[in-house]
Amino acid sequence: MTDAPFPVRHVAVIGAGPAGLMAAERLAGAGVRVTVHERMPSVARRFLMAGRGGLNLTHSEPLDAFLPRYGGERASVGRWIEAFSPEDLIGWAEGLGQPTFVGSSGRVFPRAMKASPLLRAWLERLEALGVEVRTRSRWVGWRDGALVLETPDGERLERPDAVVLALGGASWPRLGSDGAWRPWLEGAGVAVAPFRSANAGFNIAWSEAFRTRFAGQPLKAAFSFGGRTIRGEAMISAYGVEGGAVYALSAVLREAIDADGQAVLSIDLKPDLSLERLIDRLERPRGKASLSNHLRKAAGLEPLAVGLMREAGELPVQGPTLAERIKATPLRLIAMQGLDRAISSAGGVRMDQTNAGLMLKARPGVFVAGEMLDWEAPTGGYLLQASFASGAAAAAGVLSWLGLSADDRAGGTA
């Protein structure tokens, strides 16, 4: 006598970004009927926006260097990434007909550089798997245990077998991530950490002369704070400084400002020259040359670098102290830009509110993925990698909770 076949299980995925769509793909591949609800008129808007300047999918560095990028949540995020690694993400993209390459900085991009070709291929795969995507379908909480959805056709109540919430954090609200879901989860007994800016610029009280002359100019240097040094590029802005090298330090800089009201970022304007070599160059006779011209000729400093040195105070005239200023120009950061200017957000559903499968302890059958969880990472591929990996982890948690596995198919036998 054979066992009766499994009934087809139905899972609702709320949010059609990378985490939600990855969860949908994994679930549908295991024979689950999946409906994706997206409040916006189209899917993956932030993903498409991220790809406008070149879609940085992940990073090629080994995991022992990769995982520390997630700070205090390294252990939790590490479990997702060990199960869905950068190599797995690259293989997934190439399986969609999107070959990748590793850039000079170690970052990984699709050869097309844009997000749109990958997204089109992905949506075609999801359609072939039977995933139904409903746009303009906004989740607004629960009623009597059912999902409440606002749609163009009016309110709908649905009772799927499980739910994956992948609603994003609180940055880029115009693209769909506005954190509006917070009261619904808190009302269900889920603790949510306050949202804070991540990967955002910092305010500096520039002089008017400096701001007028240099706003919009790039700065390549080595940036140091709290024992960490990042070599890379930042951008001088009218309000302060922004860019990848600063974003890599943004979490510790934000915490310092919260604690002390400021953070002093140290900039090495000539990281390829040792202090001794700089001193030797600067002590050469300068004749009638102005100090700015002497710095340009002897140390190879551009006007922006000299301007930054002047912003830190009157320039020293002696070679050793002048060299020390070049190697450690202090910038006093006084505030971080708000969530409306942030690339991503910290805060969200606390990790201790979920089990190992990302199911909410207070709401059995409801799983959480992506940036709505309380973790953060710098740009450079780390954000997207963890978002994709969390979607895969949530799908695995759903399948386990439903008593299925990735190899099960509807109609199979127990």
Q: Which domain range does residue 318 map to?
A: 202-336
The answer to whether residues 56 and 186 belong to one domain is yes
Is 219 within the bounds of a domain?
Answer: yes
Q: Which two tokens stand for residue 4?
A: 């009766």
The answer to whether residues 229 and 291 belong to one domain is yes
Upper half-sphere CA count for residue 324 (Cβ side, 13 Å): 5
The answer to whether residues 218 and 79 belong to one domain is no
Q: Where are the beta strands (DSSP E) in 58-130?
A: 58-59, 100-102, 107-110
CATH of the domain at 89: 3.50.50.60
Residue 411 has pLDDT above 60, yes or no: no
How do residues 176-212 score in pLDDT, each as one tens digit? Answer: 788 999 999 999 999 999 999 999 999 999 999 999 9
- In this prediction, residue 174 carries a pLDDT of 81
The answer to whether residues 77 and 175 belong to one domain is yes
How do residues 292-304 score in pLDDT, each as one tens digit? Answer: 999 999 999 999 9
Find where tokens 């591949």 sit. 29
Find where tokens 């009934």 sit. 7
Residue 104 has pLDDT above 70, yes or no: yes
The answer to whether residues 75 and 160 belong to one domain is yes
Is 2 within the bounds of a domain?
Answer: no
Last residue of a domain, one of 336, 354, 373: 336
CA pair distance 348, 254, nearest whole angstrom: 17
- In this prediction, residue 285 carries a pLDDT of 87
The answer to whether residues 133 and 95 belong to one domain is yes
Do residues 307 and 287 touch, judged by C-beta distance below 8 A? no
**How many Cβ atoms from other residues are within 10 Å of residue 182's Cβ?**
20
**How many Cβ atoms from other residues are within 10 Å of residue 255's Cβ?**
14
The answer to whether residues 251 and 329 belong to one domain is yes
Residue 371: name the closest of 48, 11, 17, 112 by CA: 17
The answer to whether residues 274 and 174 belong to one domain is no
pLDDT band at 53 (very low <50, low <70, confident <90, very high): confident
Regarding predicted confidence, which is higher, 105 or 396?
A: 396
- In this prediction, residue 7 carries a pLDDT of 75
- Strand 146-151 relative to strand 154-158, pairing: antiparallel
DSSP state of 289: -
The answer to whether residues 59 and 154 belong to one domain is yes
Do residues 337 and 202 touch, judged by C-beta distance below 8 A? yes
- DSSP-assigned beta bridge partners for residue 156: 149
Q: Return all residues near 268 (Cβ < 8 A) that are at least 6 apart.
A: 221, 222, 223, 224, 229, 326, 327, 328, 329
Residue 364 has pLDDT above 70, yes or no: yes
pTM recorded for the entire structure: 0.92
412's enclosing H/E stretch is none
**3-state SS, one letter per residue, for 132-145:** EEEECCEEEEEECC
Q: Which two tokens stand for residue 289?
A: 């040359």
Angle at 243 between CA 258 and CA 237, to 5 degrees: 85
The answer to whether residues 284 and 369 belong to one domain is no
Residue 5 has pLDDT above 90, yes or no: no
Find where tokens 């701001």 sit. 211
Count of domains in the chain? Answer: 2
Is 359 within the bounds of a domain?
Answer: yes
Do residues 366 and 56 touch, judged by C-beta distance below 8 A? no
CA distances from 386 to 59, 116, 117, 372 (A): 11, 20, 21, 12
Do residues 28 and 34 touch, judged by C-beta distance below 8 A? yes
Is 4 within the bounds of a domain?
Answer: no
The answer to whether residues 315 and 377 belong to one domain is no
- In this prediction, residue 409 carries a pLDDT of 42
Last residue of a domain, one of 295, 311, 336: 336
The answer to whether residues 87 and 172 belong to one domain is yes
Is 385 within the bounds of a domain?
Answer: yes
Query: Alpha helices of 96-204 — where are they, by DSSP H?
Result: 116-128, 182-187
- In this prediction, residue 50 carries a pLDDT of 81
Is 218 within the bounds of a domain?
Answer: yes
Is 324 within the bounds of a domain?
Answer: yes
Is 86 within the bounds of a domain?
Answer: yes
